[in-house]
Amino acid sequence: MTARAKSLGLDIALRTYHAAPSPLIHQPNSLNIQALQVSATVVAGQTDVLNVDYVLNSIRTAARACLSGQFDAMVTGPVNKAIINQAGHVFSGHTEYIAGLCNNAFPVMLLTNKIFRLALLTTHLPLAKVSEHITTDRLEKVITITARELTRRFGIADPQLLVCGLNPHAGELGYLGDEEISIIIPTLNRLRDAGLRITGPVPADTAFTPESLKGIDLVVSMYHDQGLPVLKSHGFGDTVNITLGLPIIRTSVDHGTALDLAGSGKASSSSLSNAIRQAITMARNEMATRGESTHGDIPS
């Protein structure tokens, strides 16, 4: 970070982080850093298998500090999944890796921007495998976790969810697929009987219209590319990726590593800024839910 600040002509003081009884107040043009050792010299825009352990150690260090109560939340930047797997690690993404560090918690991927919130029933799967992962158990877990955390970490007392169908026209009464009839509708009915407010299954081609989204706190998408293209078309760079279902708060940017922009000073920090603000807001909401005092205003 020292080398990168120098190459970009940024006057930033890097201070060694020490755990303290009260939160550290960040000063302008300074960062509190807990330095971790790299194995090879870092070159902007170039991945190196020798530094993969450093990347994973960074994630582990932050997650464990959150689990211990030292930190209130963690915010992650993008990682290059390919180089991590080339180094011999089985790594499908931050979400699954952090869930493993949290005693194999059941993670739910949520993305949010100023337009709407979106939770994914399935995440990084080939399209051909999506249907076999649409199960009663998964649907119940995703919806239950999402509703609970909208209250606990977003301050929404009685959330209203909209659930997309899997097939075109939500199956067209079974003529275009039977997952809605055999799995989705019965599960949603049971969850409604348990007191959750749920609309759906709604055909995905109309689920994201302004009229359909009125009064909706969150949309549940059946698979990655059913909902994310819509969400990102309404604010790519301003969207925040959040992992629900963990004992800790974790937010992230909504984009990849963009190695071609690394070290150029031209990469946008808007998604990172939003991810930090979202993490602070969620931490405050959770503290308020527990009746704890918070630590002043969100920094500008």
Task: Map out the domains of the chain as residue ranges.
Answer: 1-35, 47-107+246-300, 115-234
Give pLDDT, residue 203: 97
Model confidence band, residue 1 (pLDDT cutoffs 50, 70, 90): confident
pLDDT band per the 50, 70, 90 thresholds, residue 293: low
Q: How confident is the model at residue 209 (pLDDT cuts 50, 70, 90)?
A: very high
Q: Which of these, 145, 71, 120, 149, lies nearest to 241 by C-alpha position? A: 120
Do residues 113 and 231 touch, judged by C-beta distance below 8 A? yes
For the segment 72-94, the average pLDDT, to the nearest whole number, is 93
> Quick one: pLDDT at residue 300?
36
pLDDT(156) > 90 = yes
Residue 298's pLDDT band (boundaries 50, 70, 90)?
very low
Task: Round to whole Å and give the CA distance between 151 and 176.
Answer: 35
**How far is it, in rounded angstroms, from Cα 152 to Cα 215?**
19
User: Which residue bears the tokens 């807990």?
Assistant: 34
Mean pLDDT, residues 271-297: 83
The token pair that represents 37 in the structure block: 């050792």
In this predicted structure, the answer to whether residue 19 has a pLDDT above a threshold of 70 is: yes
Q: Kindly give, in sequence order, each residue whose CB lies less than 8 Å from that of residue 48, ignoring residues fewer than 6 positions away.
A: 40, 42, 83
Nearest to 56 by CA among 100, 16, 14: 100
CA angle 21, 23, 28 (to 5 degrees): 140
Assigned CATH for 115-234:
3.40.718.10
